A and B are shown apart, each in its own frame.
Chain A
Amino acid sequence: NAGVTQTPKFRILKIGQSMTLQCTQDMNHNYMYWYRQDPGMGLKLIYYSVGAGITDKGEVPNGYNVSRSTTEDFPLRLELAAPSQTSVYFCASRSKDRVQNIQYFGAGTRLSVL
């Protein structure tokens, strides 16, 4: 069972370039999330989705965009990359069960903007 898969694992971007971080899950989860993790800081929510066609902003959405055309896929788009976007990005998913609400994480994408 693959779970949550993220690609690429590593990427170096130049300032002003764009890229898409891919995330796919095979658990038929309704909810999907994008977080960034910076040294010494807690995970910060960028965007989330409660189902195909529905997305919403999290705590730090500026400079990012998302789409959710299928249940499985939740790509994160960076337009005009800036050094402040250097971070580790994690995608996560969970079922719509509100009782326990465990989020399952992908392996992460390590992004450097130079």
Chain B
Amino acid sequence: GQNIDQPTEMTATEGAIVQINCTYQTSGFNGLFWYQQHAGEAPTFLSYNVLDGLEEKGRFSSFLSRSKGYSYLLLKELQMKDSASYLCAVRGSNYQLIWGAGTKLIIKP
């Protein structure tokens, strides 16, 4: 079967760093996406990895290891507005996205 696992909820402090992990088992791999979703809103694109390694975009970085079926999203200098759910999605062999259930990130002052 196909499976994507993320922690259900994480808590971090404003100004700190947090790492959200995602592990996957899918039939085929054509890229991994991270999306941010604020409560009651639509998911918005954050990052895309298709090759192993780290992709950096400002305060956000995403890492991929295809051999381990593992990715993480790293958020630095956390701000209150980063309180949201973070969705991991893998593009499988049929080019459709398979979505994790999301990680709810709570930022405390």
Contacts and interface: CB of A to CB of B under 8 A. Distances in A.
Interface in A1-51: 40-45, 48
B44 interface: yes
B98 A42 contact: yes
Nearest to B4: A42
A102 B96 contact: no
Please report whether the interface of chain A is mostly helix, strand, loop or mixed according to DSSP: loop
Contacts of A45: 96-97
Interface residues of A, number: 19
Contacts of B48: 100-102
Contacts of A40: 8, 101
A107 interface: yes
B66 interface: no
Interface in B52-109: 87, 89, 91, 95-102
Interface in A48-62: 48, 58
Contacts of B102: 42
Contact of B41 (A44, A100, A107): A107
Nearest to A44: B99
B29 to A, nearest CB: 13
Q: Which of A42, A90, A105 has the most CB of B within 10 A?
A: A42
Interface string B36-60: 0000011111001000000000000
Contact of A101 (B31, B43, B101): B31
B47 to A, nearest CB: 10
B36 to A, nearest CB: 11
A105 B41 CA distance: 10
Contacts of A41: 101
